[in-house]
Amino acid sequence: MTNERQGNEAPTGNVALVTGASRGVGRGIALGLLEAGFRVYGSGRSIEQADLPPEIRRLPCDQLKDEETAQVFETIRSECGALHLLVNCAWGGYEKMVEDGAFTWPAPFWDQPAHRWTGMMDAGVRAAFVCSAHAARMMTPRHRGLIVNISFWSAQRHLGNTIYGIAKAATDKMTSDMAVELKPFAVPVVSLYPGLVRTEAVVAAAKSGAFDLSTSESPEFIGRVINALFHDPNLMARTGQVLVAAAVAKKFGVLDVDGNSPPVLTLADIGSEG
């Protein structure tokens, strides 16, 4: 993928949109892509209050509202004329994990609160589908672009709760099927699995001994990995696949912000439940 200017594309280089960029993995991806030279747009409900540099264009958006999502893409179209990279990171599944003093996250499916389905399936999977449709309309005419869906191992093993598994499995299947329809237009789409990421919530939990951060990844690391994928001339050979971020990093020599190379986790390394 080259940096040539086509049509009315922005002269500033490659344009990226990261959804769910207000905090956590999404924020780190936005920072990593900015470091790599992308013109970065970040969307999210609380994006205006996010700790982001002024170079990142903030687009307030509740991805449960299709009209707000459409406005995000219209803004990018009007300001840049093109979109080269979409990272679907919006996700509402980690909200309200404790309710009325009860930790409901691992509850059996019949005791799960209804909002968790909305947070994972609507604010997560459906939001990624809608954003990908908007992005495809901008990418396919140019036969250029990349869509990355952030997913996780819960697609393949029970982790946490049933809805979590459903959402991530749906994300991976969506990636696989989108790849079939995008292939004639040379637009790849992949699912990307981070490892244990040092988000604000994970760092806070680690202080109580909940996590061992010795093999963890910074949020910016995922952005660096996505940049490497974007510039891989053979990326179409990977379209539709599930990729592990640390494995991609090993292949392309990508290091974390601290200079470390995070270990590549496998399904066997991920604890099972039930």
pLDDT of res. 4: 36
Got the DSSP string for 158-213? --S-HHHHHHHHHHHHHHHHHHHHHGGGT--EEEEE--SB--HHHHHHHTTTS--G
Report the candidate in 118, 127, 112, 136 with the shortest Cα–Cα distance to residue 44: 127
In a domain, 1, yes or no: no
Phi then psi for 160, rounded to 5 degrees? 85, -70
Q: Which residue in this structure is represented by tokens 């459409």? A: 70
Q: Report the number of distinct structural domains present in the chain.
A: 1
Query: Where residue 237 sits, what CATH number does that domain have?
Result: 3.40.50.720
pLDDT of res. 100: 85
**To the nearest whole percent, how much of the chain has pLDDT over 70?**
91
Ranges 60-74, 118-132, 255-269: which has the least confidence: 255-269
Q: Which residue in this structure is represented by tokens 């599930």? A: 242
In a domain, 135, yes or no: yes
In a domain, 204, yes or no: yes
Q: Which domain holds residue 133?
A: 15-269
pLDDT of res. 211: 64
Ranges 33-37, 151-155, 195-199: which has the least confidence: 195-199
pLDDT of res. 209: 66
pLDDT of res. 17: 98
pLDDT tens-digit map of 90-115: 988 777 887 888 888 889 999 999 99
Mean pLDDT of 72-88: 98
In a domain, 7, yes or no: no
pLDDT of res. 1: 44
In a domain, 104, yes or no: yes
In a domain, 9, yes or no: no
In a domain, 198, yes or no: yes
Packing angle, helices 127-139 and 162-182, rounded to 10: 10
Active site residue 164: yes
pLDDT of res. 195: 85
pLDDT tens-digit map of 206-256: 676 656 777 789 899 999 999 999 999 999 999 999 999 999 999 999 999
Task: Tell me the C-alpha distance between 145 and 272, whole Å.
Answer: 36
pLDDT band at 137 (very low <50, low <70, confident <90, very high): very high
pLDDT of res. 105: 86
pLDDT band at 11 (very low <50, low <70, confident <90, very high): very low
Helical (H) or strand (E) element with 149: strand 146-150
In a domain, 59, yes or no: yes
Q: For the chain, what is the mean pLDDT?
A: 90
89 Ramachandran zone, left/alpha/beta (phi>0; psi -120 to 50): alpha
Catalytic residue, chosen from 41, 94, 164, 193, is: 164
pLDDT, greater one: 225 or 12: 225
